[in-house]
Structure 1
């Protein structure tokens, strides 16, 4: 019975470590119920003396019944007996729970599905722990399944484990080991309680047991010492980044709960901002080259035939912005000139519910407060805990600046590009397909096709900008492209992205802001600068923005056509057929640069070390950090010396007291041995002797101690008289009816201390000051008292008295 209870306690103590992973307490009570169910099954198996192979199915059955009653009672017969429907319901919830934890970032919402998954997992751990500890009598091996409960939060969370929770888990496992040891000893007979007793100056207390400190339970000492070391040592060591074995992303807007990120409808919000009667400031920024740039917030990559949507971003712990450089931009390789730019952005504090950072693309390094993470495939930076309102952050970008020749020679084979960037619905109207093929007819490369499509919207197609046109369905898309040809930026961006996919160019729609207006050395971006534009993918260069929205129109005055899509003055009339004169000089400059190196990680380092990288944060020099660490260690080591100094100072103040009271006032104190000055002198002398390795024998009287010190260490006359005075005062307080006047003993005590110090080595004196054994003795006694308390708890027995038995 003891082992079953200890196994259940150890399991639930370790399960407490899971609390940072969840919101709410449903998982807590569910897990507690699962552990109790396994405990009851273990007690029944023990009562029936079942073998291990039979006890295991009993525990599994008990856990299954508990899960059935807790999560599928409505489908069960009589709310208890499992049925096919209840089993299928439990299986469905398990599958849903597994899918949910893959979508949410910790702490996840403790909904029914996730609670069932957690409860079942903790219950299985409880079964394995009980099997090892109770049935197989391998309590030490039970630590392996318990370690799984520690590993999950340790590998998912970026923050260290809560040390109180760790201590509770460690104590639970230690209790299991102690219970196993007690069970083994109990097979040989009744365990004997080991008590550590103290002795007085006159010998052992009357009725006290013999000193049995040598027989103290080493297991408790080792266990508590290991827990203390495990908690304190990591605090003195440098922090290490956790390794994530689980990939957790963020939930969608449909969940509306937990730590899922709330993603509003970017397209609806975009049109709403453009229709505001008065523009409002959204953000301001300044950059190192004083050039306006588009600031992207969202990247919409899926097209369902009606409108573009966004795949849920995923941000693993290793992709946090404070971990250094972000993942490399997809598709960017060597042979492309990079413009390194530093940008400082300030978000207005009036912005609400914005969990994505407006950023120039592609961001390479971000310095921002909070838990912000980058989605690897899109480099959107988001947070499940923080919002962007009022935030100030710095961004380092390495923007590709390709020439027309580089883009024209881009490989048609695409490595690692997801098929969702080319996906189109099967019922896409034929008019859209025919239009895309007609406008790109004659284009020899994807780049030439992209330039033709952009020119179709901005020049040759006869399009006009208007906020009145609405609708996102395929019929609205056909109407915009074929008939009305009037719309706002979202329709231009989505239409060009669709046409690009038709001709085989991967595309997506970016939503954010244009560069804004320069005011007083900073660029100011308002709601009227809200914008959407397409991004097209070219192998070796990556994702590039295009601008199909006609410039100079209401609300899009800061829209600009990228330079790599514009013909040069000496170019031919057809910008889709660039001549060698358009691109000469670009490649020769690129051959020698570090950006031609094919290693993306090496490219990252080069970019960050260039002028466009963020300047290093001011940090404490290495020598200073080493000095601070050494000082901290020294302060910890000096704690015993500080305790000894405080104790000695308190006693010295007491030594100045002079006791000369009438007998009727001091008799009670004398009898009780509580003369403050004498007690302080005697305690200080006892500690000094212990510090110098001359500890007083338990059977020595004060007079005998004074004689031994004088003879053994050849005290001079002054020191001999001083120690005799102290001993005489102690004896008078202890035994005399009227001790009379006792003068202050501070001078005598100082004389004796000097005499004692003169008889020992310099090393011994240094140890007495820096690491006094008397203080360590007190700390050891404190620990022994704690161990005695556990000993007494373990030996509590419910007994019937003789009177009760007779009754």
Structure 2
């Protein structure tokens, strides 16, 4: 019966590993009930001595009855006896639970169907564990079904298994192994009765069994040591990037979870944030030129006739951000002047399931904690295992200094972008193709055509901003462009991108955030700043953002038209260089020349003049290794420090009392009578133990002095010193009046030096660095902790016959 109970405990502790998969605790209590039902069935099978094959059938029947009571009692007879209706109800709940699991992402809500699936699955694991351990007596094999519970969260969740949950599960399995070992050893041959201490008092009179306490204690030591090592060793090892023989990248079928990423629907997420009833802060940022910028998250490059989508990003370990600069921005020529900016971004901790970093475009270098990788084609930065929530990172950008004259001069350069940025469906309505040609009929260049398309949405087309617009079909696109002309940023961005492609300009749709608003010394971006805008490609400068969405009070307030798409202002003196994608509301205001440059940022601007991040102020790797080695050395020197403190207290401090000497009774009497003698005797005992000359328990102080003098051939001074210490101890112990006892510090030092001269140098070094006497005390502390678990085994719920008689 002990194995049945231990099997149930091991299963339930292993079920703790499932907690990250669920919201709420309904699954916990339903699983507990299932485990208890299986345990009750196992106890019944053991009581009736049923064969091993019959016990799982009884457990399955008990599980069925429990699930009927818990989830289909209204359809059962007498609330517990299964009927046809109750079976149909359980099958329906199973189907609903399976559909919910497919629909929700972890952590899933604990609906009734999901709770039923979880309880049934845990019950099956409990039946398998009971079969292996209690019926087949193969407790070690019971770890296989328990491992199945651990693999479920490990394969679903990106985060590693929580170490407290792992410890609980491991303790349950170790307890099962200990119970199995106790059962096996307890039935070896004829019982041998031995004198026992605490364990003997708990045995029922008249019942004899082999003494297995020593074996159990050794098993606990091994089990607990294994658990501690399993938790601590991986935490201390450095994280290594797995070596792959093939470049699968993200989205391929390479080994491990690091080669796949779940991409949410950017369009649905965008509208959801815009429709939130109240504004929530998403992130804050600062940059060296104190200018607001659009922060891109996704780049949608495919158009199926209904809406834009995103190609699966690819990023091999070579494209990790901590490997150095990112790949070169597509289309940006070396001769094009760029503005180098460093932006510090802080993501809110309330952001959920965001595995892409919001970044100004084009990023050149990123400094962020975690495994973040850059897609080579779009420079989106993502992670397959880390989340952006609460992350603080730096990004250096090299933004092309685009001007109307520069963009006009690039018209003769054929675009080298991928053909997918020009593709439109063949079944696109002819009216839309005609509209694209009419709007750009008088355009002198691709840049001029792009500007005319933008002005169609912002000025001449009489478009209005409205979040209630629905639909993504061809007809919805036609209605938006030709009839309704009302929508929000998704329709504006997608429509301009389609019209640009029809005019031979590579285009894609970006989703992210506008520059937000200035709050204090930081720019603050909220959910209402979620935005979508088109990016158009020009050979020589690469991808540039355009803004067709109305802004201000009648549109999306923080949206701003890029300055390189507006007519050049009349000369009014020195002006700052325009920044693509800037969303500052003060872009058109006159600037005081005295405020154009912040003297405190002069050094910082010099550092980023080359387009990279400032030098990392964090500690170099060699220093970190040195600190780690120093910390490890200090940890190893803890026993030496404890020994040094103990010796100083004994020798120099009067009034010290022996806490744990070799002979407790003797040391207690000596300490009470004369503290200095007690200190000298305890110190001598530890010195002997450190040098491998431990005192025999039966040796008197005089016999010890005589043995050491003869065995190690002490000289006259050393022999006199050890005899003086032994004589003082015996006088304090046995004499009515020990008389005057002189200082013993010199005698103790003489004896210690004499003993040290008789051992090897290695033994002396060990006595200083890893003193066995201190390690003995630490080991004793651990044994007393393990004894506490023995006390739990000695608890009995039933009173013995002797107790009843009393």
Instruction: Give TM-score, length-normalised by structure 2.
Output: 0.68
SS in 1 for 2:429: helix
Which residue is equivalent to 1:472?
Answer: 469
Distance in 2, Cα, partners of 1:193 & 1:75: 57
Decide which of 257, 260, 264 is 1:244's aligned counterpart: 257
Shift of 1:795: 6.2
Q: Structure 1 pair 65/378, CA: closer, same or farther in 2 (3 Å)?
A: farther
Task: Give the 3 Å change call, closer, same or farther, for CA 68–149 of structure 1 in structure 2.
Answer: same
Describe the superposition over 1:646-691 as per-residue Cα deviations: whole angstroms up to 9, x where unpaired: 2212212345789xxxxxxxx9985997643332221111111111
Aligned to 1:434: 430
C-alpha distance 21-722 of structure 1, shift in aligned 2 (>3 A): farther
* Other-structure match for 2:272: 265
Q: Deviations over 1:23-49 (max 9, x none)?
A: 433333233222222222222333333
Alignment RMSD: 6.0
Structure 1 residue 552, shift from structure 2 partner:
12
CA displacement at 1:120 relative to structure 2:
3.7
Cross-structure match for 2:5: 5
* Structure-2 separation of matches of 1:802 and 1:720: 61
Distance in 2, Cα, partners of 1:793 & 1:537 = 73
Q: Map residues 159-238 of structure 1 onto 2, 5 A cutoff.
A: 161-189=161-189, 218-238=218-238
In 1, the alpha carbon distance for the partners of 2:515 and 2:801 equals 92
Distance in 1 (alpha carbons) for counterparts of 2:636 and 2:525 = 57
SS in 2 for 1:493: helix
| Partner SS state of residue 123, structure 2 | helix
Cα distance in 1 for partners of 2:99, 2:542 equals 37
Deviates more, 1:296-305 or 1:87-96: 296-305
**Structure 1 residues 121, 343: CA separation in 2 closer, same or farther (over 3 Å shift)?**
farther
Per the alignment, residue 720 of structure 2 pairs with: 721
Task: Report 1:43-122 matches (<5 A).
Answer: 43-74=43-74, 79-80=79-80, 81=82, 82-100=86-104, 103-104=105-106, 109-122=109-122
Shift of 1:335: 7.4
1:482 aligns with 482
TM-aligned CA deviation for residue 162 of structure 1: 4.2
Q: 1:538 to 1:687 in 2, by over 3 A?
A: same
Structure 2 counterpart of 1:698: 697
Describe the shift of the 1:529–1:225 C-alpha distance in structure 2 as closer, same or farther (beyond 3 A).
closer
Instruction: Give the Cα–Cα distance (whole angstroms) in 2 for the partners of residues 262 and 409 of structure 1.
Output: 32
How far has the Cα of 1:511 moved from its partner?
5.8
Shift in Å, 1:148: 3.4
Distance 1:526 1:720, change over 3 A: closer
The 8 Å contact of residues 371 and 385 in structure 1, kept in 2 or not, is answered as no
- CA deviation map 1:157-209 (0-9, x unaligned): 666654443333222211111111111123335766888999xxxxxxxxxxx
1:499-518 equivalences in 2 (<5 Å)? 508=509, 510=511, 512-513=513-514
For the structure 1 residues 131 and 500, does the alpha-carbon distance in structure 2 shift closer, same or farther, using more than 3 Å as the test?
A: farther
Structure 1 residue 384: Cα displacement: 11
Q: TM-score, normalised by structure 1?
A: 0.68
Partners of 2:457 and 2:549 within 8 A in 1: no
Q: How far apart are residue 143 of structure 1 and its match?
A: 1.8
When residues 12 and 316 of structure 1 are mapped into structure 2, their CA distance, relative to the original with a 3 A threshold, is farther
> CA offsets, 1:716-755, max 9 Å, x none?
3332222222212222233233434434433322222122
- Whole-angstrom CA distance in 1 between matches of 2:8 and 2:329: 56
8 Å Cα contact 1:535-1:546 kept in structure 2: yes
Alignment of 1:546-557 (within 5 A): 546-548=546-548
Distance (Å, rounded) in 2 between the aligned partners of 1:132 and 1:341: 69
Name stretches of at least 5 consecutive residues in structure 2 with no aligned partner: 199-210, 243-255, 568-607, 658-665
Name the counterpart of 2:595: none
Structure 2 residue corresponding to 1:560, chosen from 562, 565, 580? 562
Question: C-alpha distance in 1, partners of 2:781/2:536?
Answer: 71
Q: Secondary structure at the match of 2:27?
A: helix
CA–CA distance in structure 2, aligned partners of residues 196 and 803 of structure 1: 19
| 1:96 Cα offset (Å) | 0.5
- Which range is displaced more, 396-405 or 217-226? 396-405
Question: Counterparts of 1:156 and 1:39 in 2: how far apart (Å)?
Answer: 29
Match of 1:781 in 2: 780
Partner of 1:83: helix, strand, or coil? helix
Query: Corresponding residue for 1:40?
Result: 40
Q: What do residues 762-786 of structure 1 show as CA deviations (whole Å, max 9, x unaligned)?
A: 2222221111121222233334444
Residue number in structure 2 paired with 1:129: 129
Q: CA deviation at 1:436?
A: 1.0
1:688 aligns with 2:692: no
Aligned to 1:736: 735
C-alpha change, 1:309 and 1:46, in structure 2 (3 Å) is farther
**1:16 maps onto 2:32 in alignment:** no
CA spacing shift, 1:9–1:399, aligned 2, 3 Å: farther
- Quick one: distance in 2 between partners of 1:621 and 1:333? 29
- Within 5 A, what are the aligned runs for 1:279-678? 286=287, 294-296=294-296, 324=322, 337=333, 343-345=341-343, 358-361=358-361, 366-367=366-367, 379=380, 393-396=393-396, 412=419, 433-440=429-436, 455-456=452-453, 458=455, 463-464=460-461, 467=464, 472-473=469-470, 481-482=481-482, 492-496=492-496, 508=509, 510=511, 512-513=513-514, 532-535=532-535, 545-548=545-548, 558-560=560-562, 611-614=610-613, 617-654=616-653, 675-678=674-677
Change (3 A) 1:798 1:282: closer
Structure 1 residues 325 and 295: CA distance shift in structure 2, 3 A:
farther
Contact 1:462 1:485 in 2 (8 A): no
CA distance in 2, matches of 1:317, 1:56: 49
CA contact (8 A) 1:516 1:529 kept: no
For residues 95 and 69 of structure 1, what CA distance do their matches in structure 2 show? 23
- Greater relative contact order (CA < 8 Å, ≥ 6 in sequence): 1
**2-side partners of 1:717 and 1:248: how far apart?**
81
Relative to 1, partners in 2 of residues 1:722 and 1:125: Cα closer, same or farther, differing over 3 Å?
same
CA gap of 1:526–1:63, structure 2 versus 1, over 3 A, is: closer
Deviation of 1:458 after TM superposition, in Å, equals 2.9
* Cα distance, 1:473–1:29 mapped onto 2, change above 3 Å: closer
Write the distance in 1 (CA, Å) between the matches of 2:729 and 2:432. 109
Tell me which moved more, 125-134 or 54-63: 54-63
Instruction: Please give the alpha-carbon distance, in whole angstroms, between the structure 1 residues aligned to 2:66 and 2:784.
Output: 42
